[in-house]
Amino acid sequence: EAGVVQSPRYKIIEKKQPVAFWCNPISGHNTLYWYLQNLGQGPELLIRYENEEAVDDSQLPKDRFSAERLKGVDSTLKIQPAELGDSAVYLCASSPAGGETQYFGPGTRLLVL
């Protein structure tokens, strides 16, 4: 069974530029999560989807961050414009309906110069 797929794995951009990350969850998993992980820290939830509905986006900085999960499968996380402080690893995870365990992708490492 394929795991959670994320792309790109690495991204370097200049500040004020836009950037987008893509995630394909495990087949059949209807819950999808986006996390932010700063160096030396644990992941922090940005947004959680149940199918195509964002059910927890309270930690998403909505002035510059946006996310979508059309058709309840793939998801895209966008930052526009990026700031220096956005340099971090962006992790995507998924879980089956009612599942308590989350399955993580390898993450996208973003560097904003």
Q: Which residues bind another protein (CB under 8 A)?
A: 4, 40-45, 48, 55-56, 91, 93, 100-107, 109
Nearer to another protein, 27 or 101 (CB): 101
Decide whether 4 or 19 has the Cβ nearer to another protein.
4
Task: Map residue 37 onto helix, strand or coil.
Answer: strand
CA-based radius of gyration for the chain:
13
Q: Least distance in Å: CB of 100 to another protein? A: 6
What is the sign of the dihedral through the CA atoms of 11, 16, 17 and 20?
A: positive
Q: Which is nearer to another protein, 40 or 85 (CB)?
A: 40
Sign of CA dihedral 49, 43, 76, 9: negative
